[in-house]
Amino acid sequence: MIKSPYLLIACCLFTFSGFSQEKMKSPYETDIVKDGIWITSAVGLNVLGFKLIQEKDELTLNELNQLSKDEGWGVDRWAAGYYSEKANADSYIPFYASFVMPFALLINENERGHAGQISVLFVETMATTGALFTITAGLVEKSRPLVYNESLETGERIENDEQRSFFAGHTAATAAATFFVAKVFNDFNPDSPLKPYIWGVAAAIPVSVGYMRIKAGKHFLTDNLIGYGVGAAAGVLIPELHKKADKNLQIYPSTSFNHGEYNFSSQGLTLNYQF
């Protein structure tokens, strides 16, 4: 069941490739210097974020004893105490599979001809998402739902790794990858009838990850909602920011000028496209 969305995307892209008659130009524009600086900076922030995470303090016994399920947001309280090793293990299946999804784009000739550029954008997307997640997780103190489970051993509940519930990194990374695939497919194949299905699958996969992370006791609902939003935004905005400007399209005010009376007035807008 979990693998089927990825097979669906692969099949859809393979089917569409049969409709493609000619290789199109890339809708994106990359710059080795600008993108190199962006990726290097994002990787650096990831390193800093991981360092912050590693240096987080454990809960003290006094802090653990003072924890209450009623202290969190009402929308999150129902998940306090959740714990499932199976759900935790299962969540890694779509999580890791989402990183392979961009390769499905290469089935289609349009995208395959620009594999290098798409790879740069994907690395940039994931590095940006990772930077936002690691820095936030390293700075924000928030215990995971499993910490509220009194049946677990105290040593496990107070571990520093269990004090970074905000926000959901697995959900964010998965959303970034799936929405990136949908966005790139959308831009390379603007007239494809498959776009709604691609977007639908892209939206559903991180939801499944978020659900399992809640069941595992790793994150609350709001942690997943924020993670989903951050990942989806990165997956869409990074490619969007690299889209080429249409230099053939010009929009400017149309005017009238009367030489005899020296009148100059704006009449509206003129749209001009040069083929």
> Do residues 141 and 60 lie in contact, with contact meaning Cβ atoms separated by under 8 Å?
no
Indicate whether 108 belongs to any domain.
yes
In a domain? residue 255: no
Q: Residue 272: what pLDDT?
A: 52
Domain boundaries, position 95: 4-247
Contacts of 99 (CB under 8 A, 6+ apart): 126, 173, 177
Q: Within 13 Å and on the Cβ side, how many CA atoms surround 86?
A: 0
Q: Residue 110: its pLDDT value, please?
A: 85
Tell whether 44 is covered by a domain.
yes
Q: Which long-range contacts (CB under 8 A, 24 or more apart) does 237-242 make?
A: 238/121, 238/124, 238/125, 238/128, 238/180, 239/28, 239/121, 239/125, 239/180, 239/183, 239/184, 239/187, 240/183, 242/28, 242/29, 242/30, 242/121
Q: What is the pLDDT of residue 191?
A: 94
CA–CA gap between residue 180 and residue 11 (Å, rounded): 18
Asked whether residue 270 is assigned to any structural domain, the reply reads no
Q: What is the pTM of this model?
A: 0.81
Dihedral pair phi/psi, residue 150, rounded to 5°: -75, -10
Task: Please provide the distance, in angstroms rounded to a whole number, between the alpha carbons at the two ends of the chain.
Answer: 48
Q: Would 259 be classed as within a structural domain?
A: no
Number of structural domains (the chain) is: 1
Residue 78 lies in a domain: yes
- For strands 263-273 and 249-258, give the pairing: antiparallel
Nearest 5 degrees, angle CA 122-CA 18-CA 26? 35
Count of Cβ atoms closer than 10 Å to residue 56 Cβ? 17
| pLDDT computed for residue 23 by the predictor | 56
- Find the largest Cα–Cα distance for the chain: 92
Which pLDDT score is estimated for 246?
58
Per-residue pLDDT of the chain (275 residues; tens, 9 = 90+): 434 443 444 344 444 333 333 457 999 999 999 999 999 999 999 999 999 999 999 999 999 999 998 888 899 999 999 999 999 999 999 999 999 999 999 888 889 999 999 999 999 999 999 999 999 999 999 999 999 999 999 999 999 999 999 999 999 999 999 999 999 999 999 999 999 999 999 999 999 999 999 999 999 999 999 999 999 999 999 999 999 985 544 444 444 445 454 454 444 444 454 44
Pick from 72, 51, 86: nearest CA to 216: 86
Task: Give yes or no for a contact between 197 and 8, defined as CB atoms under 8 angstroms apart.
Answer: yes
Asked, for residue 34, whether it belongs to a domain, the answer is yes
d(CA 111, CA 115): 6
Give the bridge partners for 214, in sequence order.
Answer: none
Supply the pLDDT for residue 3: 41
